[in-house]
């Protein structure tokens, strides 16, 4: 009887969290095994029944892109971001989430939610490592790496939540072969209104750190992947890489629809709407779109924006703001 009451109360808490995110797209996990719940949510998905437009990461090819974007540089660029995309698992909701903000009604609870994000920076760690393993050790690692992940602010709100977060890299199929896990340490920068944050993570794996660092550096060689000859209205590619329902990594391809402009300390910032499909679990995912035509160079950068929200009725998704991180 006591167990049944606990289970019922927990289910009610899960439903309350599911109903407290508006159009944001975290996957809420509840009472049972997380892997089982994630798979069931994927199977019962209402927004994208059967997920016909979602391409498994290992199967994504140049032929999945619109014909005018089937170039080696564009494909390599997207594959680079795809490789650095990760699942973000958050197992605590902070008391500091303000009234009216996503999951504010669930403050202080340990109901997990998942989103997505991508690695954009790798640096050697300073002093002793502060990951959970090292905090519980009398000999914390002094050789470690700081890995920064871009995600949405509503996914990981602050450092209190970051320390209850794991980031799973290379989760590309059900076997989870080769999957690597980073420990969350802190949120170093964020903007709740623009819905982005920088999540700082730790790894002791030197080979992993070098690989991620090489990927981040190699993307610099792919600058200028989009031609300036196209008008802004015609430069409409949008690619989203995410972990729908907390499942293995998937790619969706659609169109960038509209730029949305905001200002932060006098600096122009941009978010975007787009038609590429997303699902619960896609919050914070990298949204790859060509940048706007506002500089004199002959070629354009791509912007990588964090996925923020989606609506079933309109079929239009919205990103958080970005500054062109790659």
* Range 142-151 average pLDDT: 97
Spell out the residues 6+ positions from residue 177 whose beta carbon is closer than 8 angstroms to its own: none
Q: In whole angstroms, what is the distance from residue 241 CA to residue 54 CA?
A: 9
Q: Which residues pair with 212 in a beta bridge?
A: none
Confirm or reject CATH 2.40.128 for domain 83-219, answering yes or no. Answer: no
pLDDT at 120 over 60: yes
Residue 324 C-alpha from the chain's centroid? 15
Q: Say how far apart CA 319 and CA 36 lie, in whole Å.
A: 29
Instruction: Identify which has the larger pLDDT, 261 or 26.
Output: 26
Least confident of 3-12, 242-251, 285-294, 300-309: 3-12
Is residue 264 predicted with pLDDT exceeding 70? no
Share of the chain above pLDDT 70, in %: 84
Mean pLDDT calculated for residue range 110-130: 96
pLDDT band at 299; cut points 50, 70, 90: very low
| Long-range pairs of 309-316 with CB within 8 A, sequence gap ≥ 24 | 309/22, 309/23, 309/24, 309/25, 310/23, 310/25, 310/47, 310/278, 310/279, 310/282, 311/23, 312/46, 312/47, 315/275, 316/257, 316/273, 316/274, 316/275
**What pLDDT score was predicted for residue 230?**
55
Q: Average pLDDT in the 79-99 region?
A: 98
Q: Which of 4-8, 117-121, 142-146, 259-263 has the lowest mean pLDDT?
A: 4-8
Residue 290, pLDDT > 60, answer yes
What is the C-alpha to C-alpha distance for residues 65 and 261, in angstroms, rounded to an integer? 27
Give the confidence band of 325 by pLDDT, cuts at 50, 70, 90: very low
Determine the pLDDT at residue 298: 43
Provide the pLDDT confidence category of residue 300 given band limits of 50, 70 and 90: very low
How many residues are there in the chain?
A: 326
Query: Where along the chain do its domains lie?
Result: 83-219
- Angstrom distance (rounded) from CA 9 to CA 39: 23
Is the CB of residue 165 less than 8 Å from the CB of residue 89?
Answer: yes
Give CA–CA dist 78/87, Å, rounded: 17
Per residue in 153-194, pLDDT (tens digit) is 999 999 999 999 999 999 999 989 999 999 999 999 999 999
Residue partners of 92: CB distance under 8 A and separation at least 6? 109, 110, 160, 161, 164
Helix, coil or strand: residue 50: coil
Tell me: the pLDDT tens digits for 3-57? 443 455 667 888 899 899 999 999 999 866 788 889 998 999 989 999 999 999 9
Q: Give residue 270's pLDDT.
A: 85
The pLDDT tens digits of the residues spanning 42-57 come to 999 989 999 999 999 9
CA distances from 218 to 138, 215, 300 (A): 38, 5, 17
82 closest CA partner among 171, 146, 167, 153: 171
pLDDT at position 322: 74
What digits encode the pLDDT tens for the residues 205-219?
999 999 999 999 888
């Amino acid at each position: 009887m006591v167990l049944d009451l606990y289970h019922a109360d927990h289910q009610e808490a899960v439903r309350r969290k599911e109903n407290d995110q508006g159009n944001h797209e975290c996957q809420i996990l509840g009472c049972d095994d997380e892997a089982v719940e994630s798979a069931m949510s994927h199977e019962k998905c209402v927004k994208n029944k059967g997920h016909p437009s979602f391409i498994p990461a290992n199967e994504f090819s140049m032929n999945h892109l619109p014909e005018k974007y089937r170039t080696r540089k564009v494909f390599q660029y997207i594959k680079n971001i795809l490789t650095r995309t990760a699942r973000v698992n958050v197992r605590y909701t902070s008391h500091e989430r303000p009234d009216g903000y996503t999951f504010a009604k669930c403050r202080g609870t340990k109901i997990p939610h998942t989103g997505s994000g991508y690695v954009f920076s790798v640096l050697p760690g300073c002093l002793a490592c502060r990951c959970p393993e090292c905090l519980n050790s009398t000999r914390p690692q002094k050789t470690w790496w700081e890995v920064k992940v871009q995600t949405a602010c509503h996914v990981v709100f602050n450092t209190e939540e970051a320390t209850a977060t794991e980031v799973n890299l290379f989760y590309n199929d059900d076997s989870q072969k080769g999957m690597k896990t980073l420990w969350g340490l802190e949120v170093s920068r964020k903007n709740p209104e623009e819905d982005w944050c920088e999540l700082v993570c730790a790894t002791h794996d030197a080979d992993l750190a070098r690989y991620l660092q090489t990927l981040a550096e190699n993307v610099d060689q792919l600058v200028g992947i989009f031609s300036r000859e196209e008008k802004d209205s015609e430069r409409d590619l949008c690619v989203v890489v995410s972990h729908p329902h907390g499942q293995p990594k998937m790619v969706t391809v659609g169109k960038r629809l509209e730029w949305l402009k905001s200002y932060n300390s006098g600096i122009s910032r941009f978010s975007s709407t787009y038609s590429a499909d997303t699902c619960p679990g896609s919050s914070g995912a990298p949204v790859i779109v060509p940048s706007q035509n506002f500089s004199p160079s002959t070629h354009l950068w791509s912007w990588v924006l964090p996925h923020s929200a989606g609506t079933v009725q309109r079929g239009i998704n919205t990103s958080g703001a970005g500054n062109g991180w790659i």
